[in-house]
A = this chain, B = another copy of it.
């Protein structure tokens, strides 16, 4: 089975590493340089104290023709718009799996040509070390579901993936994404603003109050029924990933663009649509956007 992976950031590199022994992988990179680096020197995966090397075939993204059985799109949500406008090879027979955080991209997906569109959310923690090296920090699973079309290609794919890197097929794509969104929308901004590891949000009683208040506002915006379950799940994730730095905190520390628009920005739009007050979402959004604004100025 031929698999295309678009995007060679931390998640793209992680997918390519774990899937390369089972599938025929083509990894599509944004730059020609990165493709060359991967083709010439292989892809390195660091896990704990171990390091593994994989031979991966990489191409720059403009070479994508959609010839693979399934293409996994692993770019950031804010890169999706320009990517899809330039994806010339897209036609109606393809199957695409989108692994972005947030939910703002769903509207974009309805306008695509390919019949079979899947979405998913990732629980893994990964960090791109350099153009051809990725560190796997936290194991998890990837939850996937049909957004539109037939499940066939997704089922075929999920059956074959290695046991150590599971893809779990779920019925309800909305639920997968909304759960991930809520978790991201609480953990990411708080850790990024406070500059603390995930675990501190539940260990520190004052931070926990801030977490609970933000969660409650978000659950209200998204009309969540069983908020208690989800709040418990949120706390479990903070405990399980206690020593991890959230992706938004890492972005803020590296002065990179964050995913705040995909996460809190989406929630703000939802709140406005429903004419709901969202003081906390709006303020945390402003604090993170303000940080981004400052780096823009200093560049």
Contact = CB atoms under 8 A, between A and B. Distances in A.
Interface of A: 193-194, 196, 200, 204-207, 209-210, 213-214, 217, 279-280, 282-283, 286-287, 289-291, 293-294
Contacts of A193: 193-194, 287
A210 B288 CA distance: 10
Given A206-B287, A217-B279, 18 more contacts: A193-B193, A193-B194, A194-B287, A194-B291, A196-B294, A204-B294, A206-B289, A206-B290, A206-B293, A207-B290, A209-B286, A210-B283, A210-B287, A210-B290, A213-B282, A213-B283, A213-B286, A214-B283
B287 A207 contact: yes
A213 B284 CA distance: 11
8 shortest interchain CB distances as A-B pairs: A206-B290, A210-B286, A206-B289, A207-B290, A209-B286, A206-B286, A279-B279, A204-B290
A209 B293 contact: no
Given A193-B193, A287-B210, A279 B280 contact: yes
Copies in the complex: 2
A13 B282 CA distance: 41
A70 to B, nearest CB: 39
B280 A209 contact: no
Nearest to A289: B206
Contacts of A291: 194
Nearest to A193: B193
B194 A290 contact: yes
A280 to B, nearest CB: 6
13 contacts: A193-B287, A194-B290, A200-B294, A204-B290, A204-B293, A206-B287, A207-B286, A207-B287, A209-B286, A213-B282, A214-B283, A217-B279, A279-B279
A284 B240 CA distance: 26
Contacts of A293: 204-206
A294 B283 CA distance: 23
Nearest to A279: B279
Nearest to A216: B279
B286 A283 contact: no
A290 B280 CA distance: 17
A282 B279 CA distance: 11
Contacts of A213: 279, 282-283, 286
A286 B204 CA distance: 10
Contacts of A200: 290, 294
A194 B291 CA distance: 8
Nearest to A194: B287
A295 B282 CA distance: 29
A204 B279 CA distance: 19
A289 B205 CA distance: 9
A20 B130 CA distance: 63
